[in-house]
């Protein structure tokens, strides 16, 4: 096994399109490898995506995540260097935050601090952007702390909201930005991690 590569774990709750882009990006990387996908949703399509890349999956429930050390022990056992959230909807528990300071990152489908916080994910965010008649939407990649969407920002990118844009249209614009930038930003963070 090549110990030089940094080891990434991805947390996802749903379809996992960002997870897929990360898997593709790091498939032949000399910098890092994705060694585990974790999900709280046994029906999440991300499980199939991980399987396609022969990446193991760990499915956990609320009790295991918040009331035990099992998830943390699993990550420690795999020598995980970086945790990447890709559409993961639960708040990260304190034991993980403490063990991985500035090593957990998330992508949010809006320009924070607007449209952030509990319950602001996916279509909820896009609908709020439309309802507020915003002229632009965007994405924020940020470090994760114990509060939803309040960690230090790493990167933001914007798209224009055109008159008459539907929910599907702005979702598409946002996803294009996510898929373009998330793997690149994750790689830049990996390169900055201490040996």
Strands across the sheet containing 57-59: 57-59, 32-39, 6-11, 82-85, 104-108, 136-143, 153-160
Matching residue, tokens 């909201």: 161
d(CA 86, CA 19): 6
* Options 25, 58, 63, 108, the catalytic residue: 108
- Say whether 181 is catalytic: no
State the helix-helix crossing angle for 167-192 and 122-131, rounded to 10 degrees. Answer: 120
Pairing outcome for strands 104-108 and 57-59:
unpaired
Active site residues: 108
């Amino acid at each position: 096994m090549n110990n030089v590569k940094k080891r990434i774990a991805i947390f996802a709750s749903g379809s996992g399109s960002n997870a897929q882009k990360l898997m593709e990006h790091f498939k032949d990387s000399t910098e890092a490898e994705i060694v585990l996908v974790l999900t709280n949703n046994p029906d999440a399509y991300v499980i199939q995506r991980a399987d396609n890349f022969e990446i193991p999956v760990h499915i956990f429930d609320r009790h295991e995540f918040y009331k035990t050390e099992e998830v943390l022990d699993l990550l420690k056992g795999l020598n995980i260097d970086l945790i990447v959230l890709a559409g993961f909807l639960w708040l990260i528990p304190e034991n993980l935050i403490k063990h991985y300071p500035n090593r957990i990152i998330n992508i949010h489908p809006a320009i924070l601090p607007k449209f952030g916080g509990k319950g602001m994910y996916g279509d909820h965010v896009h609908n709020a952007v439309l309802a507020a008649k915003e002229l632009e939407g965007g994405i924020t990649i940020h470090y994760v702390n114990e509060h939803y969407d309040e960690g230090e920002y790493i990167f933001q990118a914007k798209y224009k909201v055109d008159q008459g844009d539907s929910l599907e249209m702005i979702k598409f614009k946002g996803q294009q930005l996510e898929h373009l930038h998330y793997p690149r930003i994750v790689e830049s963070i990996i390169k900055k991690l201490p040996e």
